[in-house]
């Protein structure tokens, strides 16, 4: 495992790396961290991630069942039957739901059977009611023949004994819970929900319920990050607003690191006299700082560190930057520690849209452009929402975003862009 070697600039900050390099460094360090698991009753396991593959202990169904209301027959007795030349069968039994059929279907005979009923011995197919005409209580006219296996689900056709029902790393949906219930699974081993400790740093930050005095700012980041953590299917612990003073900040981060799987602090990631994020992460223990600064706008000052098996993220104080960094680095970390791939290709919907204006970009930097979508005739127009990384309204007004890659210096008006929609 190789860390990114960042040379120091005049302010003592490491040289910037690309987003992909930072993500790879983070992933390389996280993939060897043991995944914590717990056993849950099946009814409590919805939306949890399987820690191990589940194999069926039985055939499903355990016996051939009818998929139609009709009559269980021997297919060969119906060959060639048609409306002009029907065949005639004696009704010699009936299949009742919840009960095994009695006797067997003999040549020239049939059993009445409901949808889901067990196929009686001797029968190998089912004729639909619509293809029969009753002659009397004991005889049936079949006006359309069936082939062997018609309108039956065979033993083990749904899932066979010893075959894999669901793989490890699978997030359980309602239909998956139903499958496991059908094969008799009563409890499952799942990965524990990742617990994220969140701190907001800065002597200028006050609670969002308070009225700020000149120079003070309401705490935006904690509430926004808590919401992102919940969206990422993790839990959070709010450690509140922590002073910029090292003798207060360091113990608070140490406590959070001891009590959580991941720690986030916002503020303290840029280079300044009072910003202690890098110092604190280094003092928490090895391996320490992995990345400080990425070629990303917004989000350049982000710090990625590791104390033992606990990832520590120093996020920019500006809300938009902090939230962008969450999507690029923290959400993948939550997924990896939850036993999932770093990226979820089905997580976010995207639309193609026509860009409404030219957008310039610096080569070598990944730009995240927030946009508002507006319907124009039969297509979408993406209208960039410009603003500083401290302007939270630019995210609130946006429907989604698109990227300008590192090798590009901008995107021209009327270009087609792929917009990732916010949830």
CATH of the domain at 167: 3.90.105.10
CB 183 within 8 A of CB 56: yes
Residue ending a domain, among 153, 182, 202, is 153
Predicted confidence at residue 13, as pLDDT, reads: 47
Tell whether 289 and 384 lie within a shared domain: no
355, part of any domain: yes
Tell whether 268 and 229 lie within a shared domain: yes
Tell whether 104 and 207 lie within a shared domain: no
pLDDT classification of 271: cutoffs 50, 70, 90 = low
237, part of any domain: yes
Tell whether 238 and 307 lie within a shared domain: yes
**Pairwise pLDDT comparison (12 vs 50), residue with the higher score:** 50
pLDDT tens, residue by residue, 14-38: 579 999 999 999 999 999 899 999 9
142 to 102, 204, 235, 422: CA distances (angstroms): 23, 85, 62, 58
Give the CATH number, domain containing residue 354.
2.40.340.10
Residue ending a domain, among 302, 337, 372, is 337
Give the CATH number, domain containing residue 213.
3.40.980.10
Number of domain units in the chain: 4
**Residue from 371, 372, 356 nearest 413 by CA:** 356
Tell whether 123 and 167 lie within a shared domain: no
400, part of any domain: yes
CB 89 within 8 A of CB 142: yes
6, part of any domain: no
* Residue range of the domain that includes 376: 350-421
Predicted confidence at residue 12, as pLDDT, reads: 46
Examine the pLDDT at 231 and tell me if it is beyond 90.
Answer: yes
360, part of any domain: yes
CA 314 to chain centre: 25
180, part of any domain: yes
pLDDT tens, residue by residue, 389-422: 667 888 889 999 999 999 898 999 999 999 999 8
**Pairwise pLDDT comparison (341 vs 392), residue with the higher score:** 341
Give the CATH number, domain containing residue 104.
2.170.190.11
Tell whether 227 and 326 lie within a shared domain: yes
CB 242 within 8 A of CB 277: no
Tell whether 234 and 302 lie within a shared domain: yes
Q: Which two tokens stand for residue 338?
A: 């939850």
Mean pLDDT of 280-286: 92
**Residue from 177, 197, 193, 175 nearest 185 by CA:** 177
Tokens 């509430």 identify what position? Answer: 223
Predicted confidence at residue 2, as pLDDT, reads: 44
Tell whether 42 and 103 lie within a shared domain: no
CB neighbours of 322 closer than 8 A, spacing ≥ 6? 221, 224, 225, 266, 299, 315, 316
Tell whether 297 and 333 lie within a shared domain: yes
By CB atoms closer than 10 A (0-12, 13-18, 19+), residue 370 is buried
222 to 226, 238, 317: CA distances (angstroms): 6, 7, 10
d(CA 289, CA 189): 34
Tell whether 54 and 199 lie within a shared domain: no
Tell whether 287 and 415 lie within a shared domain: no
Tell whether 231 and 331 lie within a shared domain: yes
CB 415 within 8 A of CB 386: no
Predicted confidence at residue 9, as pLDDT, reads: 45
343, part of any domain: no
214, part of any domain: yes
pLDDT tens, residue by residue, 62-75: 999 999 999 999 99
pLDDT tens, residue by residue, 198-224: 999 888 888 888 898 998 888 889 999
Average pLDDT of the chain to the nearest whole number = 91
Residue ending a domain, among 273, 303, 337, is 337
d(CA 232, CA 341): 13
Predicted model pTM:
0.82
Predicted confidence at residue 268, as pLDDT, reads: 61
Sheet with 109-113, side-by-side order of all strands: 125-128, 70-73, 109-113, 87-94, 139-142, 132-136
């Amino acid at each position: 495992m190789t860390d990114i070697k960042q040379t120091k600039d005049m302010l003592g900050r490491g040289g910037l790396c690309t987003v992909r390099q930072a993500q790879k460094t983070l992933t390389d360090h996280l993939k060897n961290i043991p995944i914590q698991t717990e056993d849950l009753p099946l009814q409590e396991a919805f939306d949890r991630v399987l820690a191990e593959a589940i194999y069926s202990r039985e055939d499903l169904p355990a016996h051939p069942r009818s998929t139609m209301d009709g009559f269980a027959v021997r297919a060969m007795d119906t060959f060639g039957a048609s409306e002009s030349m029907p065949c005639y069968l004696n009704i010699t039994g009936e299949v009742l739901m919840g009960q095994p059929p009695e006797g067997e279907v003999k040549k020239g005979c049939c059993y009445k059977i409901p949808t889901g009923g067990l196929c009686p011995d001797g029968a190998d197919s089912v004729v639909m009611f619509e293809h029969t005409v009753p002659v009397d209580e004991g005889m049936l006219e079949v006006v359309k023949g069936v082939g062997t296996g018609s309108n039956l689900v065979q033993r083990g056709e749904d899932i066979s004994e010893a075959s894999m029902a669901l793989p490890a790393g699978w997030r359980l949906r309602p239909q998956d819970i139903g499958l496991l219930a059908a094969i008799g699974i009563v409890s499952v081993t799942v990965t524990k929900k990742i617990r994220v400790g969140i701190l907001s740093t800065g002597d200028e930050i006050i609670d969002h319920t308070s009225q700020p005095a000149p120079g003070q700012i309401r705490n935006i980041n904690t509430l926004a990050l808590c919401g992102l953590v919940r969206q990422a299917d993790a839990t959070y612990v709010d450690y509140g607003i922590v002073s910029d003073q090292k003798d207060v900040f360091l113990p608070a981060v140490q406590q959070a690191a001891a009590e959580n799987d991941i720690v986030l602090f916002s503020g303290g990631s840029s280079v300044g006299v009072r910003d202690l994020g890098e110092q604190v992460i280094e003092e928490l223990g090895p391996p320490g700082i992995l990345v400080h600064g990425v070629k990303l706008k917004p989000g350049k000052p982000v710090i990625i560190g590791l104390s033992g098996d606990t990832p520590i993220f120093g996020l920019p104080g500006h809300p938009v930057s902090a939230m962008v960094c969450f999507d690029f680095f923290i959400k993948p970390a939550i997924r990896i520690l939850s036993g999932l791939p770093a990226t979820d290709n089905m997580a976010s919907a995207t639309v193609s849209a026509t860009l409404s204006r030219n957008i310039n970009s610096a080569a070598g930097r990944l730009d995240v452009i927030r946009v508002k979508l507006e319907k124009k005739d039969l297509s979408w127009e993406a209208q960039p929402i410009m603003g500083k990384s401290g302007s939270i309204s630019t995210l609130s007004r946006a429907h989604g975003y698109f990227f300008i890659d590192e090798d590009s210096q901008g995107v021209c008006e009327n270009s087609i862009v792929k917009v990732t929609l916010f949830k």
